[in-house]
Amino acid sequence: MRGGSIYIERTSGLHRLHPLTKVALTALCFASAAALPSLAWLLALFVGLLLPLAIWGRLTAAFLKSCLLVVGPFVISLTIIQGFFSGGETVLFRLGRFAFTQEGLLAGLTFAARLLVALGGTLLLMQSTPQAQLMQALTERGFPPRLAYVVLTAIQIFPSFQDRAQVIIDAQQARGLELQSGLLSRVRLLLPMVGPLILGSVMDVSERAMALEARAFSSPAPKTSLHSLADSPSQRILRWLLVLAAAALLAWRLWSALQ
Amino acid sequence: MNLRAEGVSFRYPSGVLALDGVSLDIPSGQLLAILGENGAGKTTLVKLFNGLLRPAQGSVHIGDWDTAQHSPAALASRVGFLFQNPDDQLFERTLAREVAYGPRNLGASEAEVAHRVSRALKLVGLQDMADAHPYDLPAPQRKLLALAATIAMDTPILVLDEPTIGQDELGCRAISRILTDLHAMGRTLMMISHDMDFCAEHAERLVVMLNGKIHLDGSPAEVLSQTKKLDEAEVAPPQLVRLAQALKMRATPLTVDEFVDEYKQWRKKKNK
């Protein structure tokens, strides 16, 4: 993983799925995260669906590591906040006048599990789908190419931003800027680093725009794609089922809330 | 101030072995050029000299300092570094402030900073634009500004990464003059370049790198005469040398004047 891209190259069935099928799966994960009523259901979805998909995609270690890195801090902070402050009858322990309750702990864990499910779906999509393929799939379904380019560039600019930032730090260190003496020197680095970084990036964008225009980016003619994305009737059916399931879950949740 | 690398190896986190047991002694005041194809290890080697990278094995000494014991900021008082792209370092509102940034970091007094700024800008020919904004200069002049900022550090050793890249004939001549002046002041100068004509004309010593090792090391005439080894390193000799080799002249002329002299002698011998 580097910069804005978390795609991991593997040869797997998950990687071969059409990007929109994975987008539909992500939508289902978000709907489930919002609609499923209990911690048990959320964990069952994670263990019963997302984890097997990660194994199928040969992404298990990276997938679990990313989940842990992102959700871990939330688990800790949410359980502490909810455990102490959301109230409840069953007191597990006390810190001074604050009581940590079982109901609060459960609420915190449930919230963290909702994040885990939503994040898990997104991670599976991003770790198994190159950004260019995702954008291609979206533009083939009518997503404006200009907007797709803006999104893709914004994601892809991170690695080059990182590289440039490192060169700038090197250049300013070579001019005597001390980095190793703590916070003050890091604050002092801001202007010498941000100035060249932004100016350089603006110049890059300007050159990139000219290079694109020189290759007929704004041409009104319909665009053809060098690569074709594999799709199949069964995947189209699967996509519809996933979207319908997501919609049904949300509708059920809404209906339950209104009862 | 001399510079010494002993058995230096360096591997990037990606696993690429960029330097493999490199040893190099550079005496004080020498003007040396490091050559080689992209990825040969040139930039990695010079980044070890100012502590931006640390050797995995071996040691690098700048005078009596082991670079492993000093931060890049401390080493900046001994080794100045001109980066390839000047836009990676320029951020101040005026040329004078930009040039003053390094000396201020090194703790020079205001009077000393003013003196160094004025001297450095004069040396690169930008003294009349001290109050202009750096980005009002065209790119080749921004490179000269970055060079002035490096010179103002007043370091005994200067590393120049591709000093002539992006320069027109006038810019190359300006850089040639600046290097000659700095060399005359006794600075140790080390340049990385693909500009073979420039290196052959100015350097006292050429070091050719290949696959993270020193492949050739010697005077320009010695190095540039080794056609086969240069071929292995994907380094093409300067046009004058290639012309002399095509004519089967024995000498290795490095400048037009040298070539003309050699050619005259060669013609005389041929006509006899």
Residue A204 is predicted with a pLDDT of 79
Nearest to A171 among B71, B74, B88 (CB): B88
Whether the pLDDT of residue B5 is over 90: the answer is yes
Q: What are the domain boundaries of chain A?
A: 13-136+230-258, 144-213
Sketch out chain B's domains with CATH numbers: 1-78+156-220 (3.40.50.300), 85-154 (no CATH)
- The mean per-residue pLDDT over the stretch A181-191 comes to 70
Best mutation target among B49, B89, B94 (most A Cβ atoms within 10 Å) is: B89
ipTM: 0.80
Please report which confidence band the pLDDT of residue A3 belongs to, taking 50, 70 and 90 as the band edges.
very low
The predicted-structure confidence for B83-105, as pLDDT tens digits, reads as follows 999 988 898 999 999 999 999 99
Sign of CA dihedral A11, A14, A17, A23: negative
Under a CB-based contact definition with an 8 Å cutoff, are residues B119 and B150 in contact? no
Asked if A174 lies within 8 A of B85 by C-beta distance, the reply is: no
Q: Extract the tokens encoding A100.
A: 């940590």
**Mean pLDDT along residues A37-45:** 94
Q: What pLDDT score does A226 carry?
A: 75
Disruptive mutation site among A175, A180, A199 for chain B (greatest number of B CBs within 10 Å): A175
Q: Look at residue A39 in the predicted model and tell me its pLDDT.
A: 93
Asked whether A102 and A76 are in contact (CB, 8 A), the reply is no
Q: How many CB pairs under 8 A join A and B?
A: 75
β partners of residue A2 = A5
Containing H/E element for B82?
A: strand B79-82
Phi, psi of B25 (to 5 degrees): -115, 125
Q: Which residues are within 8 A (CB) of B64 and not within 5 positions of it... i.e. 6 or more apart?
A: none
Report the DSSP beta bridge partners of residue A91: A101
pLDDT above 60 for B16: yes
Query: Does the model's pTM come out above 0.80?
Result: no
pLDDT at position A41: 95
3-state DSSP assignment of residue B255: coil
Taking alpha carbons only, the member of B34, B32, B14, B30 closest to residue B22 is: B34
Q: Are A131 and A5 in contact (CB under 8 A)?
A: yes
Task: Give the separation between CA B71 and CA B65, rounded to whole angstroms.
Answer: 11
Using alpha carbons only, give the angle B166, B171, B172 rounded to the nearest 5 degrees.
Answer: 85
Nearest to A179 among B73, B89, B149 (CB): B73
Mean pLDDT of chain B: 92
Joined tokens for residue A192: 């010498």
The upper half-sphere exposure of residue A132, i.e. CA atoms within 13 Å in the direction of its Cβ, equals: 5
How much is the average pLDDT of B229-246?
Answer: 89
Within 10 angstroms of residue A161's Cβ, the number of other Cβ atoms is 16
Q: Mark residue B227 as left, alpha or beta (left: phi above 0; alpha: psi -120 to 50; beta: remaining).
A: alpha
Amino acid A227: pLDDT: 77
Considering only CA atoms, which of A161, A187, A181 is closest in space to residue B72?
Answer: A181
Please write the tens of the pLDDT for every residue from A239-254: 999 999 999 999 999 9
- In degrees, rounded to 5, the angle at the alpha carbon of residue B148 between the alpha carbons of residues B150 and B138 is 120
CA A137 – CA A143 distance, rounded (Å): 9
Cβ of residue A172 closer than 8 Å to a chain B Cβ: yes
Split at pLDDT 50, 70, 90, the class of A185 is low
B188-192 vs B31-35, strand pairing mode: parallel
Residue A51: pLDDT over 80: yes
Encode burial over A194-216: b for 16+ CB neighbours within 10 A, e otherwise.
ebbbeebeeeeeeeeeeeeeeee
B105 touches chain A (CB under 8 A): yes
In this predicted structure, the answer to whether residue A1 has a pLDDT above a threshold of 50 is no
Model pLDDT, residue A4: 52
- Are B191 and B203 within 8 A, CB to CB? yes
* A80-136 residue pLDDT tens: 888 888 888 888 898 888 888 999 899 999 999 999 999 999 999 999 998 888 888
Q: Over pLDDT 90: what percentage of chain A?
A: 42
Taking the CA of residue A172 and the nearest CA in chain B, the distance in Å comes to: 6
**pLDDT: is B250 or B163 the higher one?**
B163
Asked if the Cβ–Cβ distance from B73 to A196 is below 8 Å, we say: no
Structure-block tokens of residue A259: 């009862």
Task: List, in sequence order, the alpha helices (H) in B124-164.
Answer: 139-151
User: Is the pLDDT assigned to residue A154 strictly greater than 80?
Assistant: no
Q: Got the DSSP string for A48-100?
A: IIIHHHHHHTT-HHHHHHHHHHHHHHHHHHHHHHHHHHS--S-EEEEETTEEE
Contact between B115 and B143 under an 8 Å Cβ cutoff? The reply is: no
> B198: which residues sit within 8 A by CB, 6+ positions away?
B164, B172, B176
3-class DSSP state of B92: coil
User: Residue A177's closest chain B neighbor by CA?
Assistant: B73
CA angle, corner A84, sides to A82 and A88, nearest 5? 80
Cβ(B188)–Cβ(B1) under 8 Å? yes
Query: With the CA atoms of B206, B209, B212 and B213 taken in that order, what torsion angle do they form, in degrees rounded to the nearest 10?
Result: -70
Q: How far apart are CA B74 and CA A249, in angstroms?
A: 62
Coil, strand, or helix at residue A225?
coil
